[in-house]
Amino acid sequence: MSVPVEATGGEAGAKRKLFGLRLSVTQRGILIAIAIFAVMFAVYGWKQPVGLTANVINTASNKGALLALVAMAQTLPVLTGGLDLSVGAIFVLANCLASSIVVGDPVSTTLGIFGVLLIGLLCGTINGVIIVYGRLQPLIVTLAMGAVYFGIALAIRPQPGGSVNFELADFMTRSTYAIPHSAILLLLVVIFIWIPYRRSVLGRAAFAIGSAEQAAYMSGVPIDRAKILAFALSGLLAAIGGLLLTAITYSGAAKISIANDYTLNSIGAVVIGGTSLFGGVGSAIGSIFGAFVMRTVGDLLIVFDINPVLQPLFVGIVLLIAVCIGSLRVLRIKNKLDLYR
């Protein structure tokens, strides 16, 4: 290794090129997700009998935004190198809670919204605290805590039902000048949560942890606080998703299948959005488009007249293909020892 290889230090080797643009790995991931989504949505619009009317776009946006919020929630723990199997449960819990407390006059509705978001934040914080101070595996902790959160959701709403402030629900799911409000909600979340997070010390610490935890510790990165914050914000984002779900369905339902479906799809969305499952590289913005890709798969099944019950099959296949593409490096490996790290 002491042979000097004066190679690509500096400007020349800094970025790889895509269509002549100099992009980071993350930016490239986002662009690829956008491109896939654009192609799929164009096909969908073309095969759609009524075309891409404002209404069709609004519906697609509402469905996509639901998953996008949960996928953003999943992104934060994944960036630290963990995985959160409780995002679906927190999403459902927020939905059940919102269908009980986001009702009545504007004041109580506002209080209700804060209540729901606070509970989401709390659930995420509990996950983070157990993982950090208990020194436990995120996968198992969130699997177990997901059961607890789902149990609470079921306690709040044993039977589907409840209601929600109608004006709020209508406002959240409408569109203005063909711009769906749910898309604006996503934009606001990006501007007010994701971007400040990414530019904060703790946000960058999360990337650092996912990149190399030991080195991060050596560099004096606040590991514990960064991890807890990542899980806490994850809970908050999942709760925003649950709030939107309540606005769309006007009710709450504690169904384990919904929780599992959203958890699964969120991981798929994160992968498609270009976030590395090993942590350190990625963006919640990519996950948004990953989520829209996942949802458009379902829409395409419908317009191509494929039985919609097959959706889990396609989601599963997309997930398998996504992880396998990540595994293509295996084929390029020339030293078998590199496989075992």
Partner 1 sequence: MVDVVLRQFDRATLIAFGCIVLLLLIGALAEPAFLSPKYLIQQIHVASFLGVVATGVMLIILLGHIDLSIPWTIAVGGMMATGAAGILGPELGVTFAIPFGILCGAAIGAINGLGVAYLRAPAMIFTLGMNAVAQGLMVYHTGGFAPQNRATEFMRELAVGHLIPGVPNPVLIWIVLGAVTMFMLNRTTLGRQIYAIGNQERAVFLSGVDTRRVILICFVISGACAAATGVLLAGWANRSYQAMGDPYLLPTIAAIILGGTNVLGGRGKYIGTVAGVILITILQSMLSVVQPQRYFAQLGLDMPADVFRQIVFGLVIVAMLLLYGRQKLVR
Partner 2 sequence: MTASGSAPLLRMSGITKHYGGVRALENVHFEATRGTIHALLGENGAGKSTLIKVLSGVVQPDAGTIELDGSPVQFANPTEANDAGIACIFQELSLLPDLTVADNICITRPPRRFGLIDFRAQRRIAEEALARVGGEGIHPSATVRELPLSRRQMVEIAKALARNPKILILDEATSALTAADVEKVFVMLHKLREEGMAIIYISHRMHEIAELADVCTVYRNGRKVETFDAGTRSDNAIVEMMIGREYESVFPPKAAKNDDVAPVLKVRDFSWQGELNGIDLDIRPGEIVGLGGLDGQGQRQLLLGLFGTLIGTTGTVEIAGNPVKLSSPKRAKSDAIGMALIPEDRKAEGLMLPMTVRENLSFAAVEKVSRGGVVDLKAEEAAIDEMVELLKIKADGIDGPVASLSGGNQQKVVIGKWLMTKPRIILLNDPTRGIDVGTKQEIYQLLQRLAAEGAAILFYSTDYDELIGCCDRVLVMYSGAVVRTLSGQQLTETNLVSAALNLPAGTDQAALAAQAREAAT
Binding site for partner 1 (CB under 8 A): 83, 130, 134-137, 139-141, 143-148, 150-152, 154-155, 158, 214, 217, 256, 264, 267-268, 271, 277-278, 307, 309-317, 319-320, 323-324, 326-327, 330, 336-337, 339-341
Q: Mask: binding to partner 2, 305-334, rule CB under 8 A, as x and -? A: ----------------------------xx
Shortest approach of partner 2 to residue 227 CB, angstroms? 15
Looking from the CA of 126 toward its CB, the CA atoms found within 13 Å total 15
Looking from the CA of 13 toward its CB, the CA atoms found within 13 Å total 5
Shortest approach of partner 1 to residue 100 CB, angstroms? 13
By CB neighbour count within 10 A (0-12 exposed, 13-18 middle, 19+ buried), where does 74 fall? buried
Q: Which two tokens stand for residue 277?
A: 């499952």
Distance of alpha carbon 278 from alpha carbon 326, whole angstroms: 11
* 67 touches 262 (CB < 8 A): yes
Using CB under 8 A as the binding criterion, the count of chain residues that bind partner 2 stands at 41
* 295 touches 241 (CB < 8 A): no
CA distances from 306 to 214, 311, 331 (A): 49, 9, 34
Q: Does 133 engage in binding with partner 2 (CB under 8 A)? A: no
Among 24, 55, 110, 137, binds partner 2 (CB under 8 A): 24
Shortest approach of partner 2 to residue 9 CB, angstroms? 4
Q: Which residues contact 213 (CB under 8 A, 6 or more apart)?
A: 81, 223
Strand partners, 179: 176
Phi, psi of 39 (to 5 degrees): -60, -50
Shortest approach of partner 1 to residue 244 CB, angstroms? 23
Q: Which stretch binds partner 2 (CB under 8 A): 117-125, 131-139, 206-214, 302-310?
A: 206-214
Q: Mask: binding to partner 2, 43-62, rule CB under 8 A, as x and -? A: --------------------
Q: Does 137 engage in binding with partner 2 (CB under 8 A)? A: no
Let me know how long the chain is.
341
Distance of alpha carbon 147 from alpha carbon 338, whole angstroms: 38
Shortest approach of partner 2 to residue 18 CB, angstroms? 15
Among 93, 116, 164, 216, binds partner 2 (CB under 8 A): 216
In one-letter notation, the amino acid at residue 26 is T
Q: Does 4 engage in binding with partner 2 (CB under 8 A)? A: yes
Distance of alpha carbon 87 from alpha carbon 242, whole angstroms: 10
Among 46, 133, 217, 304, binds partner 2 (CB under 8 A): 217
Residue 146 near which of partner 2, partner 1, none (CB within 5-8 Å, type-dependent): partner 1
Shortest approach of partner 1 to residue 330 CB, angstroms? 5
* 267 touches 74 (CB < 8 A): yes
For partner 2, the binding residues (CB under 8 A) are 1-11, 13-15, 24-25, 196, 199-201, 204, 207-208, 210-212, 215-222, 280-281, 333-337
